[in-house]
Every structure is written in structure tokens, then in C-alpha cells.
Amino acid sequence: MEKTVAVGFNEQFKEANETRCRYRVMKGTAGSGKSVNVAQDYIIKLQDPLYKGINLMVVRATEDSNQLSTFSELTGAIERFGLSSLWRVTTNPMRLKCKVTGNEIVFRGCNDTRAIERIKSVSFRQGKLCWIWIEEATEITSKAFDILDDRLRGILDNAHQYYQITLTFNPINAQHWIKHQLWDMNSPDIFTHSSTYLKNRWCDEAYKARMERRKLTDPEGYKVYGLGEWGNAGDNILSNYTIETVDKDITHYDAVLQSQDFGFTHANCILQVGYKDGDMYILKEIYEHDKYTNKLIEQATVEGFSKHILMYCDSAEPDRIAEWRNNGWRAYAVHKNPGSVAAQIDYLRGRKIHVDTACIGTAKEIQQWRWKRTSNGELTDEPLEVEDDAMAALRYATEPYRRKHRMRTMTKQSLGL
Ligand SMILES: Nc1ncnc2c1ncn2[C@@H]1O[C@H](COP(=O)(O)OP(=O)(O)OP(=O)(O)O)[C@@H](O)[C@H]1O
Ligand SMILES: [Mg+2]
């Protein structure tokens, strides 16, 4: 059952697609073609009889986030190449199987214990797990990476088989573990690769023009997303955080509160925040686009947010606050006044912030939340207003302290604990 296919690859990925190094570390600007390239590369290889017996696990921070990204990139590649008849695609659970080789692709998350268990229990009807693709790899912890790395071991069946972990990402932060553990390592096991949208032959002029504008409005962001250079941590507003597994039992905290930044096209972010011995802990997060308030209320209830815990909300949307209140939630507007953002940030910079690994939106934003620069490159003391919805919710979570009132959060006593 042989079929010849004409496929389009960007020249800049040639070497990346050929390397057999154990680690294929691929940073790049936004729109450089990384995701499309890696998806195409896997589809072509996995249906090649040479690679029979090799299976692929695709990993993102959460399993669900594969659906609109890696899963659709891979199925899109199958369609573009006209290979639909050679692949069996299932959506629930997401799984792809090549009918020619029997090789399979499975999808996993890695940011909580249940997801890690699901990684450990991955099995295939035939062959071995040889390849792992970690998409948006800056979203995952180095601990999760080690667990994934551990999965690739044992004697392989033949010389064509090899173990490989591919990481694709934008280099958001020079302090990231990927930089010091992999990128800077200079080891024969590690293949590093940089790509740019300028060398993506499918990148249109409008996109290029948008990038040029970003150069002016957000020079530091342009460095990462336009030039593909490691982000400068000196511009970051917060560095006093860790991304780790956080205790979800609210009775273990001195106080717990909730906060919300409203959004629709922007993310709507709801956080549950615990305070203990002066440290802040982000226990839970809802980070959703295009969702109406009634749906968010349902989701918050299902996901263990509590009506009885005070929720500090963006004051710009009184109607939405009213809707939460009408549904029995203790939602209040934060007080905005000149200087309140600076005071909130001051508060946040003054303590340790522990972000649970499942709070992807917060983890992503906190690593790239940074100060604005003027057009001549000087740092200002104003935060840059891009992708800062979780950061707004985090600021609102400082409300009871900032206003120097008695902390109006939920104490154990008032919860009857
Ligand atoms: N080989 C290809 N064939 C056809 N179109 C492509 C190809 N590579 C890239 N493109 C086009 O370029 C766009 C950007 O590519 P892609 O999404 O892979 O970039 P990326 O590097 O993953 O970006 P980001 O860092 O933002 O995730 C795609 O949406 C697609 O339209
Ligand atoms: Mg991508």
C-alpha cells in the first residue's frame, strides 16, 4: 500500500527533521512554523515502514489543550498530505494510528498527579514509546520533564529506532529551566534549533506588518516573539514565584479568598488563593475564553470554587458582579484608585507566590508579565498590558491587604472548620 506524497516543508527545519539526538530543543518566534513542521515530520516518519514499532506521545501542560493544537496540527497534516485513508483517527480519547505501520500517537497532559499517572500507564499494542513531543514546553516543570525523560529507556528492536524528545516553545524567559538544563548544555545529546517567522514561507505580509508594529509597542515581547531571543528576566515584574504542586485543602491555610478578572475575547480568569505564613498559594484557576457568566458559574461550582469564600472582582464590570451575586456568590468589586496597581504589585513582589502546576494560565502569565518600555527603550514602572488576565486576578487577590483593612477573607472558623 504505497503512496507518493508531495509535502511542503520549510527549509529552516531540514536539519531539525534529520537529527537523531535524544533531545531536539526547538525555540522560535511566534509563527515560525515549528508546530506545523513537527506535526508533518511525525506523520511522514510514523507511516514509514522503516520506523515500524515506534510510537509517539504528545504532551502539553494539560491533556485537553492538545485538542485545538497538537491534535489538530497532526490531523491537519494527514489531510493536507491526502493520507486520510492511511490513518485511523479517534477523538475520544484522542488517538491516531497509522494503518500501514501500526504506529500510534497518544496525547497526554503532565501538570497534575493524575496526568502523570496517565503518562506512566501509557501502553501500545505494538512497538515501544520512542518519541515524545512536548508542545509549548515552557508551560511544563522540569520535574515533569524528568518523568517524561524516564519513560524512554530500554533496548530497542533495531538500528532504525531511536529515542527522542522534541520540545517546541517561544523562549519567554532566560531564567527558564529549559535554558540552563538543555539549551546552554552543549552536549552531543542535545540538538538546539532556532526558527523565525521571516523564514516561514507560508507567513503572510499582514503577519509580518503586525510583528513590525510590535517592535514599537512592546520591544521586549518583540525580542521573544519576533526575534526568537531569550526574554530578559530583568524586565519581569515578578521573579519571587515557584510553580509546584500546591496543597488544595483550604483548611491548611490561614485564610483563603477568590478573585476574578472578567473577560470574553480576553481570558476570564478566576483564582482561589490561600495565604499561609505570609506566602501566597494559587490553588485553583479557571482560565477561559468566549464563555458567558452563567457557564463560568457552573464551571466554578463543579471545579470546587466556593460561593461562601469572598471573591474580589474587577470593578469595571458591575453587571457581571451582580450576576454572580444573584447566584449566591459573595462577589465584590475591588477598589480602583490612582496608584492601586502599583500598590498591588508592591504587595505581590514582597512575598513568595506558589503557583499550582495545574494553573496553566497563571503559570504562563507570571513568567512573562513585565514592565513597559518607552519608545527609546527605557523601563517604566507600568506593567505592559498584554496577556495579563491572570495577573489582574492575582492583583485583585491582594485587595484585603492593600486596603489595610482587616483581612476579609474566609477563616476556618467562619467556614465551621
Ligand atoms: N509547512 C507548512 N505548510 C503550510 N503552512 C505552514 C507550514 N508551516 C507553517 N505554515 C503556516 O504558518 C503558520 C504558523 O506556523 P506554526 O503555527 O507552526 O508556527 P509556530 O512556530 O508553532 O508559532 P507559535 O510559536 O506561535 O506557536 C501556520 O498557521 C500555517 O498557516
Ligand atoms: Mg506553535
Determine which helix (DSSP H) or strand (DSSP E) holds 146, and give its type and residue range. Answer: helix 142-151
- Range list for CATH 3.30.420.280 in the chain: 241-402
Give the sign of the dihedral formed by CA 61, CA 64, CA 65, CA 71: positive
Look at the block and give the residue holding cell 496553566. 360
Residue 195 CA: which ligand is closest? 1
Distance 50 CA to ligand 2 centre (A): 28
Distance 197 CA to ligand 1 centre (A): 8
Give the ligand 1 atom nearest the CA of 39: 18
**pLDDT tens-place string over residues 228-244:** 999 877 788 998 899 88
Determine which helix (DSSP H) or strand (DSSP E) holds 36, and give its type and residue range. Answer: helix 34-46
Distance 34 CA to ligand 2 centre (A): 6
Domain 11-203 has CATH 3.40.50.2300: no
Residue 41 CA: which ligand is closest? 1
- Residue to substitute in 35, 195, 208, 364 for testing ligand 1 pocket (most ligand atoms within 8 angstroms of CB): 35
Q: Which residues contact 70 (CB under 8 A, 6 or more apart)?
A: 35, 39, 58, 60, 107, 133, 135
Give the ligand 1 atom nearest the CA of 8: 1
Q: 3-state DSSP call for residue 206?
A: helix
- Range list for CATH 3.40.50.300 in the chain: 11-203
- Residue to substitute in 11, 25, 26, 36 for testing ligand 1 pocket (most ligand atoms within 8 angstroms of CB): 36
Residue 199 CA: which ligand is closest? 1
pLDDT score for 221: 83
Contact status, residue 384 vs residue 219, Cβ threshold 8 Å = no
Give the ligand 1 atom nearest the CA of 29: 25
Give the pairing of strands 311-313 and 371-373: unpaired
Look at the block and give the residue holding cell 507600568. 382
Sheet holding 279-288, edge to edge: 241-244, 353-356, 279-288, 268-276, 255-261, 311-313, 331-333
Alpha-carbon distance values, 378 to 219, 382, 383 (Å): 10, 12, 13
- What's the topology of domain 241-402? Nucleotidyltransferase; domain 5 (3.30.420)
Residue 34 CA: which ligand is closest? 1
Give the binding-site residues of ligand 1, using a 6 Å CB cut-off. Answer: 8-10, 28, 30-37, 40, 170, 200, 202-203
**Numbers of helices and strands, H then E, in the chain:** 14, 17
Alpha carbons within 13 angstroms on the beta-carbon side of residue 129 total 21
Q: How far is residue 106's CA from residue 66's CA, in Å, rounded to a whole number?
A: 10
Give the ligand 1 atom nearest the CA of 40: 1
pLDDT tens sequence for the chain (417 residues): 455 555 699 999 999 999 999 999 999 999 999 999 999 999 999 999 999 999 999 999 989 889 989 999 999 999 999 999 999 999 999 999 999 999 999 999 998 889 999 999 999 999 999 999 999 999 899 999 999 999 999 999 999 999 999 999 999 888 899 999 999 999 999 999 999 999 999 999 999 998 988 888 778 788 899 999 998 777 889 988 998 899 999 999 999 999 999 999 999 999 999 999 989 999 999 999 999 999 999 999 999 999 999 999 999 999 999 999 999 999 999 988 888 898 899 899 988 999 999 999 999 999 989 998 877 777 888 899 888 999 999 999 999 876 554 444 555 555 555
Look at the block and give the residue holding cell 536539519. 15
Q: How far is residue 217's CA from residue 205's CA, in Å, rounded to a whole number?
A: 19
Q: How far is residue 367's CA from residue 359's CA, in Å, rounded to a whole number?
A: 13
pLDDT score for 405: 44
pLDDT score for 216: 81
